[in-house]
Amino acid sequence: MKKYSLLFGMVIIFSLLLTSCSKEKENDSIVYNISLTATEGGVAFFENFSGMSIDAPTGSYVTAVAFPDETYMFYGWYLAGSNIPVSTSLSYDLLVEENMVLIAKFKKLDNAPAEMVDLGLSVKWASCNVGATSPEETGTYYAWGETVEKDDYAWSSYSWWDNRMDYLTMYCTDNLYGIVDNRMSLESADDVASTLWGCGWRMPTHAEQDELLNDCFWEWTMLNGVYGYKVTGPNGKSIFLPAVGYRIGDKYYNIGLSGYYWSNSLDTDCNNNALYIVFSGDTYGWGHFYERYVGLCVRPVCE
């Protein structure tokens, strides 16, 4: 009787193993279709695949690559029906979880509307913000290291944030915050001034903003009805920085009361942050409080 019981038990275990293998094969056989398209101004393709549509098993990754034309910039990867980019990197590793249509969007490069103002410092400063056409205009808000305007400024929509793991995927010097790559300043592809204006324009470094703070005379004033600071350099020439406020989520804060301007430098003390200038009517200096996903304005520099 024991012999038959043992044999019966072995049959049950073998059956369970077969069922498990069958389920694994069934899951492995699930494939989804990923379609790729591009707007005017560039091309997009799947790395290591031909064609603009592929079938891939669930749980796998496919890499999409974008190339902008000479007079265009890459604006971001978008899923069909969404106006929030899933990535602004030229190369994007997509996790296959469902049928998807991935769109590579391109935007024609703007001619920089700014003049180069020589304040007598190590670099020349732009006369207006990125996205503006005059010194008093606000311009456009950007999360640090992103080159597109968004409807929602949050960690969940930030290009260098992994929502599943809750850590940074780029520009990190401490494994407490994410994947360490020891990049402490933005690469040109992630510098909105470089990508939109070109011609040598870029975001200022921490040292260049520090020079602006310490070697210039700051005066709270109004230009064409807009509050901000007139910043006068050692040679007597000046620029105007409007009090542009900032963006979190889909809301605007402190417009007309304070100004916040990104540098291209990571805050190495807290990698969730980057360095920026902050000012109000009675003070100006360095800011460390707002995190990288927050939308701030950019005042470029040029050699």
Nearest 5 degrees, angle CA 177-CA 183-CA 187?
A: 125
Q: Which helix (H) or strand (E) holds 197?
A: helix 192-197
**DSSP secondary structure letters along 201-241:** -BPPPHHHHHHHHHHSEEEEEEETTEEEEEEE-TTS-EEEE
Q: What is the pLDDT along the chain (303 residues), one digit of tens a residue?
A: 444 444 444 444 444 444 444 444 444 569 999 999 999 989 999 998 888 999 999 989 999 999 988 777 787 899 988 877 888 788 999 899 999 999 999 877 666 778 999 999 999 999 999 999 899 999 999 999 999 999 999 999 999 999 888 999 999 999 999 999 999 999 988 999 988 887 789 999 999 999 999 999 999 999 999 999 999 999 999 999 999 999 999 999 999 999 999 999 999 999 999 999 999 999 999 987 899 999 999 999 998
Radius of gyration of the chain (CA): 25
- Least Cα distance to 196 among 54, 68, 38 occurs for 68
CATH 2.60.40 at 31-108, yes or no: yes
Task: Give the type of residue at 10.
Answer: M
Strand 226-232 vs strand 217-223: parallel, antiparallel, or unpaired?
A: antiparallel
pLDDT for residue 75: 79
pLDDT for residue 6: 42
CA distance 82 to 78: 6
- Least Cα distance to 168 among 151, 145, 189, 149 occurs for 145
Q: Is 206 left (phi over 0), alpha (psi -120 to 50) or beta?
A: alpha
Chain CA centroid to CA 67, Å? 18
Side-chain-side CA neighbours of residue 264 (13 Å): 22
pLDDT for residue 15: 47
pLDDT for residue 51: 85
pLDDT for residue 28: 54
Q: Which long-range contacts link 267-273 to residues 24+ away (Cβ below 8 Å)?
A: 268/173, 268/174, 268/184, 270/177, 271/168, 271/171, 271/172, 271/173, 271/174, 271/176, 271/177, 271/178, 272/168, 272/177
Domain ranges of the chain: 31-108, 116-302
- Least Cα distance to 130 among 287, 301, 281, 274 occurs for 301
Q: Which residue has the tokens 């920085």?
A: 241
- Least Cα distance to 262 among 250, 247, 249 occurs for 247
